[in-house]
Structure 1
């Protein structure tokens, strides 16, 4: 794999692969052409993509000739419409691979000719696999290239995926207990609290360690204070803190929003909790978390956990025009985990928040309100 952030790679870096005689292998593959006109060609390309995703990720360089795995010439491929070509690739991968692979990066590096390019595709290691092509075969990679996985290797990859999921569930339970015990990353005070954890799957399957805590790298908007916050650095990471609300990035690259101001202010002002403004505030704020994760090179998928804690006997409404006649019997509202594969599309998360907050208030959800 090219040891460089994807967005920093230029055509000169591809030439350097040739100059330095970098041999293709487990994490990099060279191809002269890319044809996707028939089923066999599409299946072969999907096998290439999944082989990287099912192993440790890597770079696919298209438009170069090679001899014994070493680039001999950069020839480029002709592309009339780059956006249309990328959409074609994305559609193919979406239609032929299950479960879906997320986080593919693609770029064209223009050659001398106006319509000739080197196509570079970076495939991240997947943590929701293994991925299968057309429901038939699983592929992996070694130094000789891609190969069909055998039964034992397929089982190992499923086991790894399940282990990652169990670690994430345990982490979430631990964070709930910490907040309820008053042991968050920063002092929140007493009362009901809102807790959101955003966990990149990479954080539990790789050795992720966040070392550079320069405040200017991050947008640490809090649920209560928006972009009004103080940067605070500690042993466990960096936070934006505003009164009893914080946005924290820990050393594994996991985001935690914890807030006691929103719920407590509502309770004192209206004697009940109104869900709709809370949902709106969440959806306005968490894009800053995805900015931070991408800054750290953590491109997903992500798991979002949402919890409303210590709210027993509190009245809850969906909006400010109506509220339940009975108090909440549950002490804690633990929402189901939501997998986010595209951080610009939070529609599933939005739907779950609105549906379950409406249910908690005793109503059939009206998702258009």
Structure 2
């Protein structure tokens, strides 16, 4: 794969570097000199897309001649209508695979100084794998020497691995929540209701390599601004690095960046006593974590993953830990305060995972369905937080 987590950051200089360094085709990188203009050529390219989607993902570089498997020369591609041709190709490739690769297939045209383009097709490892090519009904996998049809044992393994991937991610998040409950987290003195956001890249479990602590420490600097409590520099711990709040800061938010590239944001200090609450009790006000997550949290995670060269897709999971009977505070349409209690039997709640096909989506659009789950538990259809309102000084 070309070393850029953001596909739109790939430039002609990056393509030239592949040639200068003799970068060879691999399990995550393939070169194609010509544009697939006809049906047969697109079917052949669909086999490569299928193999990447069924394996570790990767980049197909169209407009690059190879010699002995190494990048040798840029061969500019010419288009009468670039946008239409890219759309036609990606649509054809999706239609040639079953199940369709609805997300995780993106085309980036790289303009060349002397005219023409090179097109980089980035294929993400697919959570819906294994896929097959409908023209020949074969399942393909990517190896170090190229694509190859799977045999029956490979197909069985692929189906099992596809199911296991989602289970691994859910188990990872559940284990992390359990450690927070047992106060085995980086900030064990954290009290009160907590909102926990996990973003787990698919590559965290589809690949076996781990990030070194030096790279984690550099990338994790972006997480210092993820919450309202501006944090200390990333500190190395057993799981990777953590950004903890200054001791004198009253807010108790923290961020953990794991060795596998997963990110954990935890928002505490969520209880507030409203003057309008005649019970004189404290309630959990969701805007205390919803606004920071939208405005700073998710953007900081995206910046961190980009610094680690971690590519999408990923799963976002939002969870809450709270004492039974915790009340939710918000303002009604009539301008009055409401303080309904969460069901007494609940002390933990997790929203269904949100699949992130890419990291450029609007954070509020991504997070709204997850936010709504806690509100649904007290009979409110959607979050009542006014995201357009400015924070008070």
TM-score by length of 2: 0.76
**Distance in 2 of aligned mates of 1:214 and 1:71:** 31
Asked if the contact 2:59–2:122 (Cα under 8 Å) also holds between the matched residues in 1, the reply is: yes
Aligned pairs for 1:282-321 within 5 A: 282-284=293-295, 285-317=297-329, 319=331, 321=336
Residues 1:235 and 2:237 aligned together = yes
Give the equivalent residue in structure 2 for 1:10.
14
Deviation for aligned residue 1:238:
3.1
Give the equivalent residue in structure 1 for 2:350.
334
Residues 1:279 and 2:282 aligned together = no
Q: CA RMSD in A?
A: 3.5
Residues 1:264 and 2:271 aligned together = yes
Give the equivalent residue in structure 1 for 2:390.
none
Deviation for aligned residue 1:292:
0.4
Aligned pairs for 1:1-369 within 5 A: 7=10, 10-16=14-20, 20=22, 27-38=28-39, 40-65=40-65, 74-97=74-97, 98-102=100-104, 104=106, 106-108=108-110, 110=112, 112=114, 114=115, 116-126=116-126, 128-134=128-134, 136-142=137-143, 145-206=146-207, 207-212=209-214, 213-214=217-218, 217-225=221-229, 228-236=230-238, 237-241=241-245, 243-261=251-269, 263-265=270-272, 271-276=282-287, 278-284=289-295, 285-317=297-329, 319=331, 321-329=336-344, 330-345=346-361, 346=363, 349-365=366-382
1:22-47 superposed Cα distances (whole Å, 9 cap, x missing partner): 76565543333213454x44333222
User: Structure 1: which 5+ residue stretches go unaligned?
Assistant: none
**Distance in 2 of aligned mates of 1:187 and 1:201:** 28
Deviation for aligned residue 1:86:
3.9
- Structure 1 window deviating more from structure 2 (192-201 vs 24-33): it is 24-33
In structure 2, relative to structure 1, the CA distance for the partners of 1:349 and 1:78 (3 Å cut) is: closer
User: Structure 2: which 5+ residue stretches go unaligned?
Assistant: 387-393
In structure 2, relative to structure 1, the CA distance for the partners of 1:325 and 1:29 (3 Å cut) is: closer
Equivalent position SS for 1:316? coil
1:221-271 superposed Cα distances (whole Å, 9 cap, x missing partner): 23333xx3322413231315254111221222221111221x223679953
Asked if the contact 1:103–1:299 (Cα under 8 Å) also holds between the matched residues in 2, the reply is: no
TM-score by length of 1: 0.81
Asked if the contact 2:56–2:206 (Cα under 8 Å) also holds between the matched residues in 1, the reply is: no
Ranges of 4+ aligned residues in structure 1 off by more than 6 Å: 3-6, 366-369
**Distance in 2 of aligned mates of 1:74 and 1:138:** 31
Asked if the contact 1:318–1:357 (Cα under 8 Å) also holds between the matched residues in 2, the reply is: no
Asked if the contact 2:349–2:374 (Cα under 8 Å) also holds between the matched residues in 1, the reply is: no
Asked if the contact 1:94–1:101 (Cα under 8 Å) also holds between the matched residues in 2, the reply is: no
Residue-pair matches, total? 360
Deviation for aligned residue 1:130:
2.0
**Distance in 2 of aligned mates of 1:267 and 1:167:** 41
1:54-89 superposed Cα distances (whole Å, 9 cap, x missing partner): 234444332345677577764322134545544444
1:165-217 superposed Cα distances (whole Å, 9 cap, x missing partner): 22222222221122122222124432221211111121223212232213785
In structure 2, relative to structure 1, the CA distance for the partners of 1:211 and 1:126 (3 Å cut) is: farther
In structure 2, relative to structure 1, the CA distance for the partners of 1:92 and 1:294 (3 Å cut) is: farther
